[in-house]
Amino acid sequence: MRQSIKFTKNFYFIATVVFLIWMLFFDSNDFYSQYQLKNKVEELEDQKAYYQDKIKDTEADREALLNDAELLEKFAREKYYMKKDGEEVFVVVEE
């Protein structure tokens, strides 16, 4: 018992315990901050994967539009309401 009391009164033991407590709970890089940063990185990686899939889809659509004149005309008419000379375009808005 006396030996454990001597051990806890040792300067190096006390300094090490204080240092560990400081690093684990009070430092700017404590466990909670590291956990939050890890979650943020995972979220950003998920977003990156989502946007990379969207880019692939868009590139495929672009290639299809550049290679097919009929599809390009359909896209222009539907998306940008373009028309040929002498045509009238009616836009129906649903409520």
Does residue 87 fall inside a structural domain? no
| Upper half-sphere CA count for residue 27 (Cβ side, 13 Å) | 11
Count structural domains, the chain.
1
Residue 54 lies in a domain: yes
Confidence of residue 28 (pLDDT cuts 50, 70, 90): confident
Residue 74: count other Cβ atoms within 10 Å of its Cβ: 12
Does a structural domain hold residue 91? no
Nearest-Å Rg of the Cα atoms of the chain is 32
pLDDT at position 36: 94
Residue 12 in any domain: the answer is yes
User: Is residue 88 in some structural domain?
Assistant: no
Share of the chain above pLDDT 90, in %: 37
- Per the CB < 8 A criterion, the answer to whether 77 and 83 are in contact is yes
Record the pTM. Answer: 0.57
Determine, yes or no, domain membership for 85: no
Q: Residue 18 sits in which domain range? A: 2-80
- Flag whether 7 is in a domain: yes
pLDDT in tens, 39-82: 999 999 999 999 999 999 999 999 999 999 999 888 888 888 88
Within a domain: residue 86? no
